[in-house]
Amino acid sequence: MKHLLKMLDLSKEEIIDILNLADQLKYELKHGIPHPHLRGKTLGMIFQKASTRTRVSFEVGMYQLGGYPLFLSANDLQIGRGEPVQDTARVLSRYIDGIMIRTYDQAEVEALAEHGNIPVINGLTDFSHPCQVLADLMTIREYKNRLDGLKLCYIGDGNNMANSLIVGGLKVGMSVSAACPKGYEPHSTVLDFAKGFECFELTDKPIEAAKDADVVITDVWASMGHESEREKRKIAFNGYQVNDEIMAAAKPDAMVMHCLPAHREEEITTKVFEEHAAEIFDEAENRLHAQKAVMVKLMG
């Protein structure tokens, strides 16, 4: 594994390896055992979109590994003024040991990886959010002690989270159901991949998708970049809310997860959110541990 660009690139073994290392790093951190695997190394973090969790967890994670994080706002980089990504990749490769990038176009992340010669980590694009899904799988395994054979249900927009959860879930042996309104389905590349799995279901009926689920996951109706469609989307996503009715269809001990930020009373009710806050904030914490594992694998 040279980069982390999207879940489609990872094998089941690579995913499980990352989760095992993440568990170990979490254990070591909780027990005060230092793990400076990246002593003296520098990670450049390019942000074209806002972030709380990704920025802070990568930054703190890098410190805990003995390295240096460098926050690079796209507004201040020449990339924001049109310098080609190919040149940015070649220049940054001369200074730093790895790049994390959050941007719109997946092609930009792939181009950075192709033209530079240092590891590139996707910190979210419109197409995928692999760091989040690794943390999600880690959290599910913590609560359920396994992944194989569990049913993951995603309700909402067929966005970066849906794309990455479907691929990640299927790769580790879970059944995956997704309920998305017509016109808001996951990416065709993801549906092509999922087609090969009998345990995949795409529907526009949330209750049907939630039936006997072990994990119910949702995300905002309007992702970053779609803010102007908020009102239109509120109408399109009416009925695609994780609420008591959905949870009644899922297994009685089903988990609920959300990558955050959450819009209460839109994609999830305050009641369900608060009843499952332990899982949701463990999921947010696990971003730190999962990404540290990714950085050690790629940059160690």
Closer residue to ligand NVA (CB): 129 or 276: 129
CA-wise closest residue to 246 among 279, 222, 268, 266? 268
Which residues, other chains included, contact 263 with Cβ-Cβ below 8 Å and sequence gap of 6+? Answer: 220, 221
- How many alpha carbons lie under 13 Å from residue 274 in its C-beta half-sphere? 5
Active site residue 129: yes
Closer residue to ligand CP (CB): 80 or 261: 261
Active site residue 31: no
Which of ligand CP, ligand NVA, none sits in contact with 159, Cβ below 5 to 8 A by type?
ligand NVA
Active site residue 39: no
Which of ligand NVA, ligand CP, none sits in contact with 20, Cβ below 5 to 8 A by type?
none
Least distance in angstroms from the C-beta of 53 to ligand CP: 4
Least distance in angstroms from the C-beta of 277 to ligand CP: 15
Closer residue to ligand NVA (CB): 106 or 159: 159
Q: From CA 198, how far away is CA 131, in angstroms rounded?
A: 26
Closer residue to ligand CP (CB): 43 or 202: 43
Which of ligand NVA, ligand CP, none sits in contact with 161, Cβ below 5 to 8 A by type?
ligand NVA
Active site residue 78: no
Contact 151, 175 (CB under 8 A): yes
CA-wise closest residue to 26 among 164, 155, 135? 135
Q: From CA 300, how far away is CA 298, in angstroms rounded?
A: 6
Least distance in angstroms from the C-beta of 100 to ligand NVA: 14
Q: From CA 289, how far away is CA 300, in angstroms rounded?
A: 15
Active site residue 287: yes
Least distance in angstroms from the C-beta of 249 to ligand CP: 26
Q: From CA 136, how far away is CA 290, in angstroms rounded?
A: 9
E strand map for the chain: 42-47, 68-73, 98-102, 120-122, 151-155, 175-179, 200-203, 215-218, 255-258
Least distance in angstroms from the C-beta of 124 to ligand CP: 6
Q: From CA 216, how far away is CA 100, in angstroms rounded?
A: 28
Contact 273, 264 (CB under 8 A): yes
Asked if the bond preceding 36 is cis, omega within 30° of 0, the reply is no
Closer residue to ligand NVA (CB): 207 or 224: 224
Which of 129, 141, 233, 289 is labelled catalytic?
129
Residues that bind ligand CP (CB under 6 A): 51-54, 124, 132, 259-260
Active site residue 90: no
Closer residue to ligand CP (CB): 200 or 221: 221
Q: From CA 161, how far away is CA 267, in angstroms rounded?
A: 14
Least distance in angstroms from the C-beta of 292 to ligand CP: 16
Which of 259, 276, 289, 291 is labelled catalytic?
259
Residues that bind ligand NVA (CB under 6 A): 124, 159-161, 219-220, 223-224, 259
Which of 64, 287, 289, 291 is labelled catalytic?
287
Residue 293 CA: distances (Å) to CA of 64, 92, 165, 173? 12, 22, 19, 21
Which of 48, 64, 106, 132 is labelled catalytic?
132
Q: From CA 204, how far away is CA 213, in angstroms rounded?
A: 16
By beta carbon distance, the residue nearest ligand NVA is: 223
Which of ligand NVA, ligand CP, none sits in contact with 52, Cβ below 5 to 8 A by type?
ligand CP
Catalytic (active-site) positions: 102, 129, 132, 219, 259, 287
